[in-house]
Chain A
Amino acid sequence: MNTTTQPLRAEAPLAEPVALYPSPLKEFWQAFSRNKGAVGGLLFMLLVVFCALFAPWVAPHNPSEQYRDFLLTPPMWLEGGQAQFILGTDELGRDLLSRLIHGSRLSLLIGLSSVLLSLLPGILLGLVAGFFPRLLGPSIMRLMDIMLALPSLLLAVAIVAILGPGLNNTVFAIAIVHLPAYVRLTRAAVMGELNRDYVTAARLAGAGLPRLMFVTVLPNCMAPLIVQATMSFSSAILDAAALGFLGLGVQPPTPEWGTMLASARDYIERAWWVVSLPGLTILLSVLAINLMGDGLRDALDPKLKNAV
């Protein structure tokens, strides 16, 4: 595609001297924005991030204040709804919208910290496994296979069951569960790069092991890792909500989306909004991140386009 546009640009070098090649960022954005779903996902996530950052100012009420006169008030557009409670209230009279907005803080926090907590050790272990294929590599991979033998949510449930519920243990459990994916991905990418000429050249030029690992090889392995980080961000949000729903995650009265659903179960016959809205928020956020992940994958790593 670029072959047709570049001669045209080259003819007008005076007007735009640097435009011979688009900057990597611009090129990336062009590829990313071609995917409409990805842009939609990005916009929705920007909204969620905004809500999370400015929750106390965006939310109309305090998320834990109980309006005792307004228990289970329906959303404002329904009969009996109140204009001050846009999405209605829950069984304790707390404003649902405010709780959802404050919940976004927690979900994003859990997602972000568990991704970081598994990404960094994952990359390190994957690099080590790739660079030492004799003894260390296979033993690391065997360990990861063992962790993969347990279904992800079950492993998380087991870890939280032992360590006890709560925010920190939720993050820790989810990070452990996602670790093997990063290790495998990094190792596979490293193995692919190690035989390339530029690595040999760097070796011959006298680059030490740390330099080879982190400066020479790692940057060329980042594309699949970024995609995986996006995907595991969304599944971290899902897993955290699932743990919360099972009563093993963040504990009430903290407004966490999954925990909110768990306490809403008893009102399934009377108040559809306390059941529907937290789950819908989870679904939309996870969907938005997955759409973004698809766009990222197409833009960064075209080889993976048809993978599931």
Chain B
Amino acid sequence: MLSFIARRLGLLIPTFFGVTLLTFALIRLIPGDPVEVMMGERRVDPEMHAQAMERLGLNKPLYAQYLDYIGKLAQGDLGESLRTRESVWSEFLTLFPATVELALAALLFAGTLGVLAGVIAALKRGSLFDHGVMGISLTGYSMPIFWWGLILIMFFSVGLGWTPVSGRIDLLYDIEPVTGFMLIDTLLSEEEGAFVDALRHLILPAIVLGTIPLAVIARMTRSAMLEVLREDYVRTARAKGLSPARVVFVHALRNALIPVLTVFGLQIGTLLAGAVLTETIFSWPGIGKWLIESIGARDYPVVQNGILLIACLVILVNFTVDILYGLANPRIRHQR
């Protein structure tokens, strides 16, 4: 097992450097030079321009610039935002919990509903319910989620007035950010109604963000379940006279869930990408909205290192899923 982890870790390092190379190159690909971009559209005095180039180390050869960049990263220096003058890292830390909260809520929604629908569809293979689930999940998979969000807002917020249109919490409440997770912070703050308000803000974005994972998980659970239900041990369990519920949920589902869990892990990337759209629609103050706003404001340090941070996150999640998968399935561990 240790050698398996070591091998995976070994693969991680070149990937990490590759990503830094990518984010480094991204900034160099901007038409025009970074100093002109930073100083705005007005004409830049050549002397000041040269000074800025010198200060930022942009007059050095490319490999030296890259080494500088890596060196700064190693010291935990991710640069500062051009707009707020705050460090990119601290901005990321304040906004990140909001995205995690949203993503977890979406995964919870997609996971419970998706596994349940997938199991029932597999058990009633060929039935109307099965066809319905498969149809709906293909529709969900094809969904432009930015539109889906607008439709839900139009129906539930504007039409019925059940949920708020945007944000994480009503302005009436002054919540101390202790954990960064609004649901926990509102409980800690003991302000009346704050928790329910936060929950109502969370529901629609979570549904929107969870729609595509829901479709994928339902399809995956169904096909994994169909495969497992054919196995001998399921027949044996039935023959032993175990209750149908026990056979399905203990004997079959546990094995069917292994591939589904992998899909869960792979969906993290989809969730982060989806968060960009969902957060933009619902004005959810997370890293997705932060990134899009920074792009609009040409705040390149934020764009560059925000993307780097997200990529590292995805790499780490994939690594963890790999390791967990190796733990659950020895055959993977001993490959090659």
Contacts and interface: CB of A to CB of B under 8 A. Distances in A.
Interface residues of A, number: 49
A48 to B, nearest CB: 14
A146 B15 contact: yes
Contact of A246 (B143, B151, B276): B276
User: Which residue of B27, B144, B276 has the most chain A CB atoms within 10 A of its CB atom?
Assistant: B144
Interface stretch (B18-26, B46-54, B202-210): B18-26
Contacts, number: 134
B106 interface: no
B223 interface: yes
Interface of B: 11, 14-15, 18-19, 22, 26-27, 29-31, 138-139, 141-144, 146-148, 150-151, 153-154, 158, 216, 219-220, 223, 226-227, 263, 269-270, 272-274, 276-277, 280, 291-292, 295-296, 303, 307, 310-311, 314-315, 318
A190 interface: no
A142 B11 CA distance: 9
A163 interface: yes
A272 interface: yes
A258 B142 CA distance: 14
A152 interface: yes
Contacts of B19: 146, 149-150
A287 B134 CA distance: 12
A287 B18 contact: no
B310 A151 contact: yes
Contacts of A149: 15, 18-19, 311, 314-315, 318
Interface of A: 37, 142-143, 145-147, 149-154, 157-159, 161-164, 234, 238, 241-242, 245-248, 258, 261, 264-265, 268-269, 272, 275-276, 278-280, 282-283, 286-287, 290-291, 294, 306-308
Contact of B276 (A153, A272, A282): A153
B276 A279 contact: no
Contacts of B270: 151
A170 to B, nearest CB: 14
A290 B147 contact: no
Contacts of A279: 144, 146-148, 150-151
User: Which residue of A143, A158, A265, A275 has the most chain B CB atoms within 10 A of its CB atom?
Assistant: A158
Nearest to A248: B295
A264 B318 CA distance: 37
Contacts of B272: 151, 154
Nearest to A262: B146
Nearest to A264: B150
B154 A290 contact: no
Contacts of A283: 139, 142-144, 147
B154 A162 contact: no
A241 B153 CA distance: 19
B263 to A, nearest CB: 7
A246 B280 contact: yes
